[in-house]
Amino acid sequence: MTTKNYTLKLEPEGFKPEKQEFFHFRGLKVRYLGPTNFKGSRVVIEDTRHGDKRYIDYDYSQRGILEIALNFLMGEEIFLEIEGFTYNEKDGSYTLLTLDFETKINKKGRAK
């Protein structure tokens, strides 16, 4: 991982103020969309920073939505470096974390 990219001055009660460095990530929410009368199952990737969405057909040869999303985002068309992820047990979604704030995930965007 690269150098931390965000600094805050924290002043906790009873302690001297100090600067703390953090990683500031861009989040990409990944969730499953079931089939409809017109479309099969899909995976949607939503850029929580830019508001873009990308829909991908569900590939049953892969092991679920996380693998489908990672293969798509880290593939030749987009190529984002994913630094980590978190899983939401309540709604079954993942949030992928990246330090790349520029590359678009929609078809109009271009990879760097």
Burial (CB < 10 A; 0-12, 13-18, 19+), residue 23, is middle
Structural domain total, the chain: 1
* Residue 14 falls inside a structural domain: no
Range of the domain at 76: 25-112
* Residue 8 falls inside a structural domain: no
* Residue 34 falls inside a structural domain: yes
Query: Per residue in 14-23, pLDDT tens?
Result: 888 899 899 9
* Residue 17 falls inside a structural domain: no
Cα(72)–Cα(54) distance, integer angstroms: 10
Query: Per residue in 47-90, pLDDT tens?
Result: 999 899 999 999 999 999 999 999 999 998 889 999 999 999 99
* Residue 5 falls inside a structural domain: no
Predicted TM-score (pTM) of the model is: 0.85
Residue 47 and residue 26 in contact, taking contact as beta carbons nearer than 8 Å: yes
Structural tokens at position 26: 């861009």
